[in-house]
Structure 1
Amino acid sequence: MSKIQVNKLHTLTGHNDCIYALTEGSDPRFFYTGAGDGMVVEWDLDNPKDGKLIAKLPHSVYALEVDNERNLLFIGHNFEGIHVIDLNENKEIWSINFTDQAIFDIKIFGNEVFVGTGDGVLVIIDIPSQSLKKRVKLSSKSIRVMTVSPSKKHLALGLSDHTIKVLDIREDFQPIANLTGHENSVFALAYSPDEKTLISGSRDARLKFWNSDYQLEESIAAHMYAINYLSFKKDGKYLATCSMDKSIKVWDAEEKKLLKVIDKARNAGHGTSINKVLWSTYSGQVISVSDDRTISIWQIEEINP
């Protein structure tokens, strides 16, 4: 098995509150962060020290998503709705007010935006007409995280009712599966790049691996506390998880084996909960954001024995 070497390249500052949101740009050289201070900032991996303020909103931002086709940034504005920024022009071009709840995640597929809210409602918005298309009530508890399988056209959602619900995008969001087994809120969820595996992480600190038929293959006690997010490397070989226990862990996704722990003691890591992690498709580096108001950029390299 390959060994992993980690180097911390940068610590980026500028946010005045916990950083909750992180997403890659349509040009993956850029990434975007959103925080409790309502600020949304653009960062350049080639020149990471200076962030550029994209938006300043009155409420905290938990969710960001880029529409790669149109180069639009969708901002989830808690207790309101979404704001849409044209990244070519760096200005807001439209917004929709549709909720008095927190917005925990946003995903884009084709011409539609999927928004998960704190009262368990999936809101579907049509991008070309800039209008609300549908609401699907899934639970009385929050929708915390979503992921799309493009080839199957499945939308998987992790909820605070401890379940993962899988819906068919083609069939008007009809239910396909209801996955149970986590003992607390599901915060982390992603299909593997080959879409054969769905991986979930929860407040119960466990990682679960579900096969293409949504049968549970493996459950791992992965962290000390809540798993907040997970991200695959583009080739699907490795997986990064981040946790309330202040650590990032790098896994062999195929073998489901832990390869590396990145933390404060060993790597001058974050001092508080790590809320999101992103494996850059541009640089192959891992980006992490934390309650400590900082962004870290990590070089993660294989050392073959």
Structure 2
Amino acid sequence: MASKVQVQKITTLTGHRDCVYTLERSEEEHVIFSAAGDGMVVAWNLDDPENGELMARVSTSVYALRYMPDRNLLLIGQNQEGLQVIDLKDKKILKSVPLPKVAIFDIAYAPALQKIFVAMGNGAICVISSDTFELQTSVRKTGQSARSMGYNQQTQELAVGYSDNIIRIFDAGTMDLKHELTSHANSVFTVAYSPDDKQLLSGSRDAHLRVWEVEQHYKERGYTIAHMYTINHITFSPDGRYFATCSMDKSIKIWDAETFKLLKVIDKVRNASHGTSVNKLFWSAHQNQLVSCSDDRTISVWDIKELEL
């Protein structure tokens, strides 16, 4: 059955003093974390969105956060300064993991393997034990930035999008290189596995959204020119029926995850959306709310309603 998507802006969260770069889940569906160029990591309650709670403050900008649900820890990628492990219960730094003094663009967590993967600005993937938080190894296939990562729980593969335009698929256990996907014409800023782990979606500075079939050795299913400029992030809805993309072109788009048809465009003119680049999305199971953050220093919360046709 076809469906139509209705979008309504619920609120705007303000308080960050610089570009907001990333959003991440927490233990509770109605609480999310944000991090920004101001070095502040803030928790927001979607039931009471007026005031954010400062969880951590670091000395440099933060592009990457990752929540560890089994231990209620938050990993903060502090640019130039390595990885900070925050105990959320006590709100204190549990561990500081020194890494090469470059930007940290993404963090992935593989609980089954007890590994944390950190995508670095020098092209390295740093592999850290999630048990001891010791650096185990570093894998570098290019001198250009590792920008984005996705972990496939079924195949235990790690997909990494790089600034040399290539997506590399690694065995997450051994870090052996399995595939190189070379269709993009510019930096790959976002990769995301579908909730059933059967497809990999990728978005790039070339504005192309590409779909890869995992079970067919990552054969490309097809592509669409999804935005006017860089695709910054892709996220799936909690039920897996939809996904959303956001872009440097200031817009957010909602797509059907089965047909890849565009269902809705959220932008400044139509929806009083962001005035500058939209950097990250988080689709919460809390009342099916989509959260977006931007270079305009704000976070927007959207109510997504499905209307069966």
Give TM class, smaller chain.
Answer: over 0.9
- Give the structure 2 partner of residue 166 of structure 1: 169
- Give the structure 2 partner of residue 142 of structure 1: 145
- Give the structure 2 partner of residue 35 of structure 1: 36
Distance 1:272 1:31 in 2: 22
Match of 1:297 among 255, 279, 301: 301
- Give the structure 2 partner of residue 218 of structure 1: 222
- Give the structure 2 partner of residue 199 of structure 1: 201
Per-residue CA distance 1:50-74 (angstroms, 9 max, x = gap): 1000111111000000001000000
- Normalised to the residue count of structure 1, the TM-score between the two structures is 0.98
Distance 1:191 1:31 in 2: 21
How many residue pairs get aligned? The number is 304
Residue 227 of structure 1 pairs with residue 231 of structure 2: yes
Distance 1:277 1:129 in 2: 30
Amino acid at match of 1:268: A
Residue 262 of structure 1 pairs with residue 266 of structure 2: yes
Distance 2:96 2:52 in 1: 24
Note the C-alpha offset of 1:36: 0.5
- Taking only aligned residues, the RMSD between alpha carbons, in angstroms, comes to 0.8
- Give the structure 2 partner of residue 70 of structure 1: 71
- Give the structure 2 partner of residue 47 of structure 1: 48
Note the C-alpha offset of 1:289: 0.2
Sequence identity, in percent? 49
Residue 2 of structure 1 pairs with residue 3 of structure 2: yes
Distance 1:163 1:235 in 2: 29
Unaligned runs of 5+ in 2: none
SS at match of 2:33: strand
Per-residue CA distance 1:23-59 (angstroms, 9 max, x = gap): 1113222111110011110111121111000111111
Distance 1:53 1:200 in 2: 32
Per-residue CA distance 1:250-283 (angstroms, 9 max, x = gap): 0001101000000000000000000001111233
Amino acid at match of 2:240: G
SS at match of 1:31: strand
Note the C-alpha offset of 1:96: 1.0
- Give the structure 1 partner of residue 211 of structure 2: 209
Residue 128 of structure 1 pairs with residue 150 of structure 2: no
Note the C-alpha offset of 1:298: 0.2
- Give the structure 1 partner of residue 158 of structure 2: 155
- Give the structure 1 partner of residue 291 of structure 2: 287
